Chains A and B, each alone.
Chain A
Amino acid sequence: MPKLTIDGRPLEVPPGTNLIEAARRLGIEIPHYCYHPALSIAGQCRLCVVDIEKVPRPQVACNTVVAEGMVVHTETERVLETRKSIMEFHLINHPLDCPVCDQAGECWLQIYYMKHGLYDPRMVDEKVHKPKAVPLGPHVILDAERCILCSRCVRFCDEVTGTSELGIFHRGDRSEIGLFPGQELANKYSGNVVDICPVGALTDRDFRFQVRVWYLDTQKSICPGCARGCNIEVHVSRRRVHHAEGRRVVRLKPRFNEAVNKWWICDAGRYGSAFVDGDTRLQAPARRDGEKTLEVAWTEMIPLAAGRLRGYRADEIGILASPKLSNEDLFLLRRLCDALGVGAVDYRVPPARPGDEDDFLIRADKNANTRGAELVGLGGADSRAILAAARERRVKCLWIFCHDLLASAWPEGEVLDGLLGAETVIFQGTNANPTSAYAHLVLPAAAYPEREGTWTNFEGRVQRFRQALPPLGRALPDWEILGRLLQEVQGAPRPARAEDCFRDLAATVPAFAGMSYRSIGDAGQLVQTARP
């Protein structure tokens, strides 16, 4: 491995590493726009220049590969002057419309200009005008005047999705990013171009003019959209509740994880968080009394629900758990089933249509935790048989988590007979759905950004999602609801935190042996059975 020196500090990196990545290992940030580690080297923005001893002129770090004995300086006077110049050049035709630009606050033109600006505006001529506010597709909008033509978005569509919708047309200062006339940027990963756009040229249509980024808080999370478990950041607006039409979760951003999703997430996941603040959120425990639905306090609901569960024989209870529940939730549910002696538990409900799938990130299984449900060892019954038992009045208490059975592959009549056949239907979930309308007891659950937990992705990677928001209304995390029920049923002390549940899980289920929230960390950890 070549040994080199950057700013006087020695390091050794694998051959082929470029100077931006090498410097990054030392915590040295070389400013750049067009370089992106996932994309081919373009070398267009010219910002990442460094001085290399014995090389007469500054070189771009992105296209310079480390060599044995190389001595690199990233902050010589000449380099700093060049950065200033390049920053001025980038802004010659830029509209400087930060006050109305969604990117403001997270714009690399702003960030680098603050550090490397010339602070001597001398461009007094008319700027080149280009198309503004052009919708490129369902999610992305273009302001070509803000574009610095780094070509990241073009390379993304060429190299990552292979869809090649975008190009740089014309030449000189008339050059502009665009679509082939009549085409749309509608590939399944289109939103990623917004993330990799270093400026405000490509922005999210659903984020446009919603809230200033400096009012956002971020939290590490996992996309619940499919079995991949892409690592994400949840961006929430809590400080300006009147902004973004009251939405708390205003956007999701991918979070780098080399082993799972790299830098990317799909559009379905990115734009799929509306349910968290949606009108259908279940916000209070409720019981149905004839035609009336009455909200009740948890202090009333827990004994009520526990009473129903204890009121039936164990073989009169059927539970349709969900592969969307966390490992912690599923483990507590398993304990509760053990306490009650319930054996009719399953989590598998086939979707009406097979899920969309590709050979990149998107998995057909739209549940975040199918693998976790398998590993936790819940039940072993057959979900359709449980429903059939309800229809046949053998199961009298049907406890359904999350699922909308009416949107499943099962015939509607079969589902309705099952729902109407049970004396007691308990629904536990985040949002109301056609199935929940049949519930006698509704237990409102916190959505994933409102709680802690872990999911196990299809490869067996256990990943943590964290709390970004308080639960809406009186919703509670599933593990907490289950813990309270378990306490009510068994008198056992209930876990105070999700982490406590996970500790018990790791101590009980071999696949999770030795794992902890600490060991899972930000990158996740493979379960025992999935480790090489």
Chain B
Amino acid sequence: MSQSAAEPIEPILTRNFGRPDSHTLTAYRETGGYTGWAKALALEPAAITDAVKRSNLRGLGGAGFPTGTKWSFVPKGHAGPIYLVINADEGEPGTVKDRYLLERDPHALIEGMLIAARAIGSRLAFVYVRGEYVAPWRRFSAAVREAYDAGYLGRGLDVVVHRGAGAYICGEETGLISSLEGRKGWPKLKPPFPAIKGAFGAPTIVNNVETICQVPHIVNRGPEWFAALGTQTQGGTRLYSVSGRVRRSGVYEASVGVTLRQLIYEHAGGVTGNGRLKAVVPGGASAAILRADEIDVTMDVDGLRNAGTMAGSAGVIVMDETVSIPDALRVVARFYAHESCGQCTPCRETTGWIYRMTERIVEGRGRKEDLDTILDVARRGTGTTICAFYDGAVGPYISYIEKFRAEFEALIPHA
């Protein structure tokens, strides 16, 4: 929760994190809360969407899609209900930031929802909180009650706080919708896209917690201000969750243009273990791994895409030289095998198989063909499934092996 040491910025999302009462309506109001909403009330919905477009705000849940553009997909003049759904099903390994926002700045999310709902014409919003997040759910639910009591909610927008029940796939927006509808969290075929036919058959916009928490500030201080905080193609700051072998793991707010090196060495205080960096996952477990010599990249969506990985949820997991990459892949592969929803054949069948192969390799029972088999299976499976879960799994499968192949081979007899 510190500011960037490298390029000090004014804390925005974290501005109140230091206050013990930051979750209360009083504290929120004292620090300018709900003034963005007041301004938004004076704006036409289209003007709000336009401002968000100009701010270059991009989805901070993982996909990095431009938020204003997403909002504009809702059919104009739609007669029936339109739903706003907040994805608080934080689950990407390495990511903790939405928990912080739910617990420490819940009214920012509510205010952002009010503004977003006005922009897309929604009168009913759902906040899907992962089931294990009991304390954040209670904290956020209390804030919703405060907002009702204060008259922010219940006059044009109702908010239902929904609890999940333990499934990573519900963080995928259509898996989340299925789950919200009371079913297994199986992602849905597209088309139709949620903005046309989403939750309960109605146009639905699904946004991440952090994304929506940015919205009041954009309306308050203008899209140009927000855009200027970031890079050419992405505005603002974001919350980086830094963990693994670092001195100070935690949540850090910095520009989307901060470099990975700055995050590791300045914000998080450098590498522990033997002190020498070996590898780092920059955007949650599904992001391809980077070697120590690849960390001079900016953390924005396009910067990391150009580096062959992804910004994802900005969950940074740091590994020093003592970490076994094959063992790390085994752990990650176990996760994907456990969390595959089982709907599409490629993902259902190969996540388990690849986990079994990595387990065998780590246990010294690898076969020399295994590495090429994993690479080939992962490449063949890429892009063949309904949702992005499998492509996310492929990120580590391929990058861990390609970048640290010798380490895997060293574990395989006769390789």
Given A168-B342, A171-B167, A172-B352, A89-B191 contact (CB < 8 Å): no
Does any Cβ of B come within 8 Å of A190's Cβ?
Answer: no
Q: Which residue of A lies closest to B342 (CB)?
A: A175
Contact: B351 with A173, CB < 8 Å?
Answer: yes
CB-defined interface of B351-363 with A at 8 Å, one 1/0 digit per residue?
A: 1110011001000
CB-defined interface of B335-361 with A at 8 Å, one 1/0 digit per residue?
A: 001111111111011111100110010
B194 to chain A, nearest CB (A): 15
**Which residues of A have CB within 8 Å of B169?**
171
Interface residues of A in 78-96 (CB under 8 A from B): 81-82, 85-86, 88-90, 92-93
- Which of A58, A148, A171 interacts with B340 by CB under 8 Å? A171
Interface-lining segment among A42-50, A439-447, A502-510:
A42-50
Does any Cβ of B come within 8 Å of A292's Cβ?
Answer: no
Contact: A41 with B380, CB < 8 Å?
Answer: no
Does any Cβ of B come within 8 Å of A134's Cβ?
Answer: no
Interface centre among A47, A57, A58, A174 (most CB of B within 10 A): A174
Docked complex Cα distance between A93 and B347 (Å): 13
**Which residues of B have CB within 8 Å of A85?**
346, 377, 380-381, 384
Does any Cβ of A come within 8 Å of B31's Cβ?
Answer: no
Does any Cβ of B come within 8 Å of A356's Cβ?
Answer: no
Contact: B340 with A173, CB < 8 Å?
Answer: yes
Given A57-B383, A122-B373, A92-B353 contact (CB < 8 Å): yes
Does any Cβ of B come within 8 Å of A170's Cβ?
Answer: yes
**Which residues of A have CB within 8 Å of B369?**
122
- For A, the interface residue count at a CB cutoff of 8 angstroms equals 36
Given A82-B384, A89-B381, A44-B344 contact (CB < 8 Å): yes
**Which residues of A have CB within 8 Å of B352?**
92-93, 128, 172-173
Interface residues of A in 117-170 (CB under 8 A from B): 122-126, 128, 148-149, 168, 170
Docked complex Cα distance between A82 and B381 (Å): 8
Contact: A171 with B349, CB < 8 Å?
Answer: no
Docked complex Cα distance between A254 and B338 (Å): 40
**Which residues of A have CB within 8 Å of B367?**
124
Contact: B360 with A125, CB < 8 Å?
Answer: yes
Contact: B342 with A170, CB < 8 Å?
Answer: yes
**Which residues of A have CB within 8 Å of B220?**
none
Does any Cβ of B come within 8 Å of A257's Cβ?
Answer: no
- Which of B338, B349, B360, B383 interacts with A93 by CB under 8 Å? B349
Contact: A148 with B337, CB < 8 Å?
Answer: no
Given A89-B381, A90-B349, A172-B338, A63-B189 contact (CB < 8 Å): yes
Docked complex Cα distance between A47 and B384 (Å): 9
Interface centre among A63, A89, A92 (most CB of B within 10 A): A89
Q: Which residue of B lies closest to A62 (CB)?
A: B189
Contact: B337 with A173, CB < 8 Å?
Answer: yes
Contact: B345 with A123, CB < 8 Å?
Answer: no
Interface centre among A58, A60, A82, A122 (most CB of B within 10 A): A122
A216 to chain B, nearest CB (A): 30
Q: Which residue of A lies closest to B367 (CB)?
A: A124
Docked complex Cα distance between A128 and B350 (Å): 12
- Which of A41, A63, A172 interacts with B351 by CB under 8 Å? A172
16 contacts between A and B (CB under 8 A): A43-B189, A43-B386, A44-B343, A44-B344, A46-B344, A58-B383, A63-B191, A85-B380, A88-B377, A89-B346, A122-B369, A125-B360, A171-B169, A171-B342, A172-B339, A173-B353
Name 6 extra pairs, CB < 8 A, besides A89-B377, A168-B184, A172-B339: A44-B343, A46-B385, A89-B349, A148-B345, A172-B337, A173-B349
Q: Which 6 A-B pairs have the closest CB atoms?
A: A175-B342, A173-B352, A85-B380, A172-B340, A92-B349, A125-B356
- Which residues of A pack against B, CB within 8 Å? 41-47, 49, 57-58, 60, 63, 81-82, 85-86, 88-90, 92-93, 122-126, 128, 148-149, 168, 170-175
- Which residues of B pack against A, CB within 8 Å? 167, 169, 184, 189, 191, 337-346, 348-353, 356-357, 360, 367, 369, 373, 377, 380-381, 383-386
